[in-house]
Amino acid sequence: MAIPDFQTIMLPLLKLMSDENVRPLSELRESLSVSFGLADNERLELLPSGTQPVFDNRVAWATIYLHKAVLLERPKRGYYKITKRGLSVLDEKPEKINIKFLEKFPEFLEFKNKKRDEKKKQPTGGAVTEINPAEALENAYQELQIALTSDLLQTIKECTPAFFERLVIDVLIKMGYGGSRREAGQAMGKSGDGGIDGIIKEDKLGLDIIYIQAKRWDGTVGRPEIQKFAGALQGQRARKGIFITTSNFTKDALQYVLNIESKIILIDGERLAELMVENNVGVSSIGSYEIKKIDSDYFIDE
């Protein structure tokens, strides 16, 4: 049989998880390949980039979408378990689960709406226009980036506090701060001030110092925490600071940093994940595509 698309995989995948056991993604791939009766050559068929089996890729996307709709949860990296919502969905005995079905869940709609921002619409009538291949490729790229940053952020939240501090150092160094990693690592966690986790050079020569607070937070970071950090900066006679969190900031906190003398940059979890992707920290390339066009200058003398 033909390799099923990722939407066709969703319902069998959820049914496979109905026993409420925690399963690794690798086990899901193998079990589903058997249930779909895939031949060996189908199971091993690769993406055009040659980097991953087509079926493995589609199973991964099915788990991502079910996870975004909170039908699956991820107890730890690479492992999945069905949620109460997922069990309720199975009790409804749906004929199929696809993107349209998942749109009934607000968490999935929030995820999907991030991908709609780049879609083109006709000037009148509200109908979506046909996009050309270049636009389709760009939209697909944006979708991959959104899914990657979302999954990366969850992975960050599962890290230990010590690893999170090292991660922050790696990001800042890749951005051009801090001199060497050894120097930055020695400075982290040794400021001795309750409101500061570490210091890092603003440039390789150390012409100025930036003070850092890097915290894995579950809840939203409010103005009081930022005021505490600002006070710690004043105690060090420091002018610049970076507050990095795995969660996000309240409007009051964002407004507060605009009205104080010290320069404090707030980096929330989503922005941190984006910076990791931009600077190749914790991610790796699995393929690249070169887009070409006709060189009109070459034919100018024709």
How much is the average pLDDT of 294-301?
74
Q: How confident is the model at residue 109 (pLDDT cuts 50, 70, 90)?
A: very high
Residue 189, in any domain of the structure: yes
Residue 167, in any domain of the structure: yes
Residue 283, in any domain of the structure: no
Q: Are residues 31 and 100 in the same domain?
A: yes
Residue 140, in any domain of the structure: no
Tens-digit pLDDT profile for residues 134-170: 767 777 888 888 889 988 998 998 888 888 888 888 8
Q: Are residues 10 and 89 in the same domain?
A: yes
Q: Are residues 195 and 272 in the same domain?
A: yes
Q: Which of 63, 92, 116 delimits the end of a domain? A: 116
CB 216 within 8 A of CB 272: no
Give me the pLDDT at residue 89, please. 97
Mean pLDDT across the chain: 84
Percent of the chain clearing pLDDT 70 (strictly above):
84
Read off the pTM.
0.67
Q: Which amino acid is at 184?
A: A
Instruction: Judge whether residue 282 has pLDDT over 50.
Output: yes
Domain of 76 in residue numbering reads as: 6-116
Give me the pLDDT at residue 223, please. 94
Q: Are residues 19 and 99 in the same domain?
A: yes
How much is the average pLDDT of 36-63?
88
Q: Are residues 40 and 111 in the same domain?
A: yes
Q: What is the CATH number of the domain that holds 209?
A: 3.40.1350.10
Other beta carbons within 10 angstroms of residue 32's beta carbon come to 20
Checking 33-36 for CB contacts under 8 A at 24+ apart, the result is 36/1, 36/4, 36/9, 36/12
Q: Domain total for the chain?
A: 2
C-alpha pair distances (Å), 135 with each of 118, 139, 140, 291: 9, 6, 8, 12
